């Protein structure tokens, strides 16, 4: 009888624990549903991955579901070109590429995925070679928007000219910038690069930065460098006009107005203020583009 009574007690205790465990499970499940859907039954974000904040596409299909003024912003941005696109001279904020991404995040609550393929010191010829490297065509193909800065190293091949006297500086810089053969080569390379990019990606808009004159405040240069940079910018405009959806973003006026305050210590690249001004202009242009076009209609 004692053994039977003991078994009965143990069985009763086991049943009680099982019932309690069931209630705890159901209660936890209901609490979890309340956390996910909230009191009104609408889904809320729970436990979002940090990866979403460093550039994951907004959804599994890679479509841009975040909008500005009811129009989508780019989910994937690819930057190409030279040290300007690389952000050399900035304070660690990533130059105009990194600052543009930050502007999208703070102003539009949108964080695009960004791939920066720019190479410091690259010329237009180097860009052409870069476009043929393994993996680059596939990366460009996935872009919703492309940023390009190229030409500064073609136009200004040797900044050591600043170490020369006034007369030497003026003659050398004017000679560099007005070389018709070099300008023609640049025009050809730029055209080939844009056509190659367009062959990889037929629809993504390309925002191409114009050139600025980093030497306009150097004594002895007069108007030589200003006039020559205008000629190079004219070539950029001409080439861009022949390629669909290439938009030239001027930087000449921004850097001219900012003067030395917008240049880094090397007197060639922008500093934090210069990059901020370029990023603001890019952001404004892209915002205007986003309000006029829908990416899905172009693909």
Contact 174, 180 (CB under 8 A): no
Rg (CA), the chain: 29
Q: Is the pLDDT score of 114 beyond 60?
A: yes
Residue 193: pLDDT band (50, 70, 90) is very high
> What's the rounded Cα separation, in Å, for the pair 160 and 286?
36
Residue 172: pLDDT band (50, 70, 90) is low
Most confidently predicted of 3-7, 164-168, 222-226, 253-257: 253-257
Dihedral pair phi/psi, residue 72, rounded to 5°:
-70, 150
The model's pLDDT over 50-108, given as tens digits with 9 standing for 90+, comes to 222 223 333 333 343 333 334 468 999 999 999 999 999 999 999 999 999 999 999 98
Residue 158: pLDDT band (50, 70, 90) is low
Q: Is the pLDDT score of 261 beyond 90?
A: yes
Q: Is the pLDDT score of 156 beyond 60?
A: yes
- Please state whether the predicted TM-score (pTM) of the whole model is above 0.95: no
The model's pLDDT over 203-237, given as tens digits with 9 standing for 90+, comes to 999 999 999 999 888 776 656 778 788 999 999 99
> What's the rounded Cα separation, in Å, for the pair 237 and 213?
17
> What's the rounded Cα separation, in Å, for the pair 244 and 44?
41
Secondary structure (DSSP) of 121-184: T--HHHHHHHHTSTTHHHHHHT-SEEEEE--HHHH-S-GGGGGS-HHHHHHHHHHHHT-HHHHH
Q: Which of 12-16, 21-25, 117-121 has the lowest mean pLDDT?
A: 21-25
> What's the rounded Cα separation, in Å, for the pair 133 and 61?
27
pLDDT for 10 equals 46
Q: Is the pLDDT score of 7 beyond 80?
A: no
Residue 39: pLDDT band (50, 70, 90) is very low
Dihedral pair phi/psi, residue 148, rounded to 5°:
-140, 130
Taking the mean position of all CA atoms in its chain, how far away is CA 170? 35
pLDDT for 58 equals 36
């Amino acid at each position: 009888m004692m053994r039977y009574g003991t078994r009965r007690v143990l069985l009763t205790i086991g049943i009680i624990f099982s019932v309690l465990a069931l209630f705890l499970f159901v209660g936890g499940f209901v609490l979890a549903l309340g956390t996910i859907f909230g009191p009104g039954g609408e889904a809320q974000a729970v436990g979002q991955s940090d990866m979403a904040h460093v550039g994951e596409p907004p959804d599994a299909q890679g479509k841009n579901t975040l909008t500005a003024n009811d129009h989508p912003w780019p989910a994937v941005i690819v930057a190409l070109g030279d040290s300007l696109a690389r952000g050399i001279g900035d304070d660690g904020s990533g130059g105009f590429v990194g600052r543009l991404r930050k502007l999208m995040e703070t102003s539009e609550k949108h964080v695009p995925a960004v791939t920066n393929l720019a190479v410091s010191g690259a010329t237009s010829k180097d860009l052409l070679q870069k476009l043929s490297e393994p993996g680059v065509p596939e990366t460009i193909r996935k872009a919703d928007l492309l940023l390009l800065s190229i030409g500064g190293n073609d136009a200004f091949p040797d900044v050591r000219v600043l170490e020369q006297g006034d007369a030497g500086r003026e003659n050398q810089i004017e000679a560099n910038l007005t070389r018709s053969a070099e300008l023609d080569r640049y025009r050809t390379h730029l055209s080939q690069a844009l056509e190659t990019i367009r062959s990889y990606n037929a629809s993504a808009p390309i925002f191409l930065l114009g050139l600025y004159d980093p030497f306009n405040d150097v004594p002895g240069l007069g108007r030589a460098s200003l006039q020559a940079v205008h000629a190079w910018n004219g070539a950029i405009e001409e080439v861009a006009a022949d390629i669909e959806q290439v938009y030239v973003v001027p930087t000449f006026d921004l850097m001219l107005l900012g003067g030395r305050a917008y240049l880094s210590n090397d007197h060639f690249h922008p500093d934090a203020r210069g990059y901020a001004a370029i990023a603001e202009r890019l952001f404004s242009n892209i915002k205007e583009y986003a309000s006029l076009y829908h990416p899905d209609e172009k693909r």
